[in-house]
Chains A and B, each alone.
Chain A
Amino acid sequence: MLRLILKRLGLMIVMLLGLAVITFTIANVAPGDPARLAAGPDASQEMVEQVRAERGFDKPVPVRFFIYLGQLARGDLGTSVYTGREVARDISQFLPATLELVLFSITIAVVFGIPLGVLAAVWQNKAGDHGIRLLAVSGAALPMFWLGLMLQWYLALELDLFPLGGRLGVFDDVPPKITGMITVDALLDGDPATAFTALWHMVLPALALSLPALAAIIRVNRAEMLEVLGRDYVTNARAQGIGPFRIIAAYALKNAILPTLAMIGLRFGWMLGGTVLVEGVFDFPGVGLYAAKAAVSSDFEPIMAVTLILGAAFMVTNLLIDLAYALLDPRVRNQI
């Protein structure tokens, strides 16, 4: 097991290096002049050249890449050309918000997705199954940002049930920063009301973000459950008079859950990327919104930093899923 972890961590470093090469190359062959951007639209040519020299944009691309790698090794993610702020500082501010949103979204997807997948399998080809499958198809087909706008329009504006956006109301006090996740920090601070308010602000973006994952979990879980429910040992269990609930919970779901678990892991990574679309609609100040703003400004150091961090998060999630697989399935464990 330890060998697997070390091997995978080594592979992750190689993959992250590859990701850094790709993003850096794209950033540096893309059109746009970061020095002119930093100097401002009215800047004289002399001011532009001054910025170019100060920020090292006058050096050859390979030299800049090695300087960048050196920076990364020291934990320095660079400085935003547009804002002049350290990217690491921005990320430490915005990443907890995104993680909080994604964790809440994945919780919604799992809490609703697994039971609905089970019910769809149990009710195969009945009205309930059709209804759940329709939800799954819709979830896969509807664009997240469109769904977000619709939720905002109907549930926030028309029914006034939820706030339009943000992490808290504009006049709410932000709890002292511990993890950066407001719900967690507020609870640690002994302020459940603020935690609830933050959670309430996350409902609509989390719904928009979770629907594709919910759909995927339903589909995979339904298919797996159908397969398991058709197996001999389930038939045997039924013949022994074991009740349907126990058959599903103790026999079928336990065996059907592994592929669903893998799906959840994959979706966690995709959701991190999906925040680029959803955070913009709900003005949720996370790394997705940060990266989107950086992209339209051709501000590459933040984009590269976000790409590397999301890439690393994706890889770590996959590793954790594989480890969970190994823990739950002796056959997988024996292969390691």
Chain B
Amino acid sequence: MKLRMLTSALALAATLVSPLQAAEKRDGEFWMVIGGRQAVSHIDPGQSYDYSIRMMTQALYDGLVKYTGNPPEVEPWLATDWTTSEDGLTWTFNLAENATFHNGDPVTAEAVVYSYQRVLEMNEGVAWMLSEILKPENIKATGEHTVEFTLDRPYAPFLSFLPWWFIVNPAQVEANVVDGDFGKAWLAENDAGSGPYELERFDQGTAYWLRRDADYWKGFPYEAEDMGGIIYRLIQESSSQRAALMSGEADLVTDLTPEEFEVVGARPDIEVSSTPALTTFGLKMNTQGEYTGDINLRKAVAHAFDYETFVQVYNGNAKLQTSPFADAIRGKVEIDMPRQDLTKAKEFLAKSQWPEGGITLEYVYVQGLEQQRQMGLSLLNSLKELNIELEMVPLTWPNMVARASSVEESPDLLAIFATPVSTDPDAVAIQYHPSSHGKYYGSHFVDDPELAAMIEEARAISEWEQRAPLYEQIQQRIADIQPEIFGMLRQRQFAYRTYVKGYVDSPIRMTAEVDLYPLYIEP
């Protein structure tokens, strides 16, 4: 009897204090709760970025252009249209005249100039995309709503990077500059944007509240006027994410493991989205390493690898690469890629400096990522056929980045997910150019003058018809020199309650990044 009373009391207390179901209204409005695993360390579009920062800054700010859809296309946004000069050096953008910042100030060409110059002068965040071809003084407002960029040299991928450059309100930023810090400290936790959402609360390490700007100058792609805002809530364990989604404490979760994705996908009250990503997963080989410096050894390893197991690790939610370029990359062509063939593997090994094997290769992967460990085990098993041992070394991500930064330290094989920031083929090709040496995705330290010359030539041509054939050759050349075991394209997977509407996936986004703009709730 006492036990029953206690249980009843507990149940009553639970109903009193249990969190509201997220689809319920708060002050007459719906607030969508997104459960994500990565904190938002700041919301300044000028400082360094990761997926959670990029997701927030895209909601708070507008760029001249924006990536939308699948396959991703660059769509006019703050810029209504643009022209390029014959020589490919001058790009002129006309701005929407009705765009306003959240405080009511108009978005002008001067604001665009200020925002681009700020990032280039700070030399942080996205600056790397344009710093080699654009000087701050070569960005000019030629009218109240016209802005002109003059590049140092023709650079075809220019437009494809602009979706990640956001426009800040100079008046708000300048009023908050402290000791010449470009307003960094203030912008880290305050917004000065014109985007569809305004910052309402920034509870570091807990939750980040975005209020929908009902008067957003561009409007919304839905009619639901009772959409109040979005809360990005930190739920750091994958199992807790799943539980939160199932209990309704979260309406959408960003990066479930494949197993958890299967579990929630079976429920009628949850929808799942699984679409091909632009992200490639490969095992990058150090082309200047003691062993993997030998192209025949690299080819032997690539032919020994069990590609089918690779896909099975993701419960079939992945597909093998058929080119060094992902499917959504412009100009991708089908290349004859290595598949498991032990006879061929042995033939290549026989031509290498180690015809009998008898060596040990080092495989470095992200500590705690079970899928990468399983891939290592599969490789270990395959290499036994070649009398090659595999030493599996799990490292934290920062330590992997450090290992990849020097040719001497770069391991024989490094398991890497790489997401290009644009769909322009240069964004992938550049990984195999000496300018990527030292970066995690350049851990193979490819130094092939013929390939480098082709990459440089292709990025300087304006006309796509002239670029496309070069990229065919580039893809073939990359495959020929076998700098990595080209793995797979993992599906982007998101799960959300059925009342969440408007979800649109785009492979250009990072692994767990969502475009918040079109999302709304309709029970």
A42-B128 in contact (CB<8A): yes
Question: In the complex, which residue of chain A has the Cβ closest to the Cβ of B234?
Answer: A283
A293-B39 in contact (CB<8A): yes
What are the interface flags for A15-48 relative to B under an 8 Å C-beta threshold, 1 for contact and 0 otherwise?
0000000000000001111101111111111111
User: Complex formed: what's the CA distance from A75 to B131 in Å?
Assistant: 38
B486 CB, nearest partner CB in chain A, Å: 20
Q: A39-B48, A47-B127 are in contact. Are A163 and B18 (CB under 8 A)?
A: yes
Q: A39-B124, A170-B33 are in contact. Are A33 and B235 (CB under 8 A)?
A: no
B235-A283 in contact (CB<8A): yes
The answer to the question of B1 belonging to the interface, with a C-beta cut-off of 8 Å to chain A, is no
Question: In the complex, which residue of chain B has the Cβ closest to the Cβ of A169?
Answer: B19
A167-B206 in contact (CB<8A): yes
Q: A44-B131, A84-B184, A85-B41 are in contact. Are A153 and B204 (CB under 8 A)?
A: no
User: Complex formed: what's the CA distance from A162 to B19 in Å?
Assistant: 9
Interface size range on B against A: 35 or more
The answer to the question of B17 belonging to the interface, with a C-beta cut-off of 8 Å to chain A, is yes
Question: In the complex, which residue of chain A has the Cβ closest to the Cβ of B244?
Answer: A164
Which of these, B11, B19, B439, contacts A170 with CB under 8 Å? Answer: B19
Contacts of A85 in B (CB 8 A): 41-42, 188, 204
Contacts of B464 in A (CB 8 A): none
A41-B184 in contact (CB<8A): no
Contacts of B17 in A (CB 8 A): 163, 169, 196-197, 200
B182 CB, nearest partner CB in chain A, Å: 12
Question: In the complex, which residue of chain B has the Cβ closest to the Cβ of A145?
Answer: B237
The answer to the question of B205 belonging to the interface, with a C-beta cut-off of 8 Å to chain A, is yes
Task: Give the A-B pair count, Cβ closer than 8 A.
Answer: 151
Which of these, A31, A41, A46, A285, contacts B123 with CB under 8 Å? Answer: A46
What are the interface flags for B123-161 relative to A under an 8 Å C-beta threshold, 1 for contact and 0 otherwise?
111011101000000000000000000000000000000
The answer to the question of B5 belonging to the interface, with a C-beta cut-off of 8 Å to chain A, is no
User: Complex formed: what's the CA distance from A44 to B48 in Å?
Assistant: 12
Between A80, A157, A167, A297, the greatest number of chain B beta carbons within 10 A of the residue's beta carbon is seen for: A157
User: Complex formed: what's the CA distance from A253 to B31 in Å?
Assistant: 54
Q: A157-B246, A197-B17, A296-B397 are in contact. Are A44 and B205 (CB under 8 A)?
A: no
B249-A163 in contact (CB<8A): yes
What are the interface flags for B234-270 relative to A under an 8 Å C-beta threshold, 1 for contact and 0 otherwise?
1111011001101101000000000000000000000
The answer to the question of B386 belonging to the interface, with a C-beta cut-off of 8 Å to chain A, is no
What are the interface flags for B493-507 relative to A under an 8 Å C-beta threshold, 1 for contact and 0 otherwise?
000000000000000
The answer to the question of B49 belonging to the interface, with a C-beta cut-off of 8 Å to chain A, is yes
A90-B402 in contact (CB<8A): no
A32-B399 in contact (CB<8A): yes
User: Complex formed: what's the CA distance from A36 to B42 in Å?
Assistant: 18
A43-B128 in contact (CB<8A): yes
Contacts of A93 in B (CB 8 A): 204-205
The answer to the question of B433 belonging to the interface, with a C-beta cut-off of 8 Å to chain A, is no
B231-A170 in contact (CB<8A): yes
Contacts of B20 in A (CB 8 A): 169-171
A256 CB, nearest partner CB in chain B, Å: 30
Contacts of B234 in A (CB 8 A): 283, 285
B41-A298 in contact (CB<8A): no
Q: A44-B128, A47-B124, A171-B20 are in contact. Are A164 and B240 (CB under 8 A)?
A: yes
The answer to the question of A69 belonging to the interface, with a C-beta cut-off of 8 Å to chain B, is no
A40-B399 in contact (CB<8A): no
User: Complex formed: what's the CA distance from A333 to B432 in Å?
Assistant: 73
A84-B188 in contact (CB<8A): yes
The answer to the question of B233 belonging to the interface, with a C-beta cut-off of 8 Å to chain A, is yes
Which of these, A33, A82, A196, A285, contacts B401 with CB under 8 Å? Answer: A33
User: Complex formed: what's the CA distance from A166 to B184 in Å?
Assistant: 29
A47-B128 in contact (CB<8A): yes
B237-A90 in contact (CB<8A): no
Which of these, B19, B184, B233, B401, contacts A37 with CB under 8 Å? Answer: B401
Q: B4-45: which have CB < 8 Å to A? A: 10-11, 13-14, 17-20, 22, 26, 31, 33, 39, 41-42
A41 CB, nearest partner CB in chain B, Å: 6
User: Can you identify 18 A-B contacts, CB atoms within 8 angstroms?
Assistant: A31-B399, A32-B396, A39-B48, A41-B439, A42-B421, A42-B439, A83-B39, A84-B184, A90-B205, A152-B243, A164-B249, A169-B19, A170-B33, A170-B231, A170-B249, A172-B19, A200-B14, A297-B398
Task: Please list the 3 inter-chain residue pairs (A to B) with the smallest Cβ-Cβ separation, ordered nearest first.
Answer: A169-B19, A83-B41, A40-B48
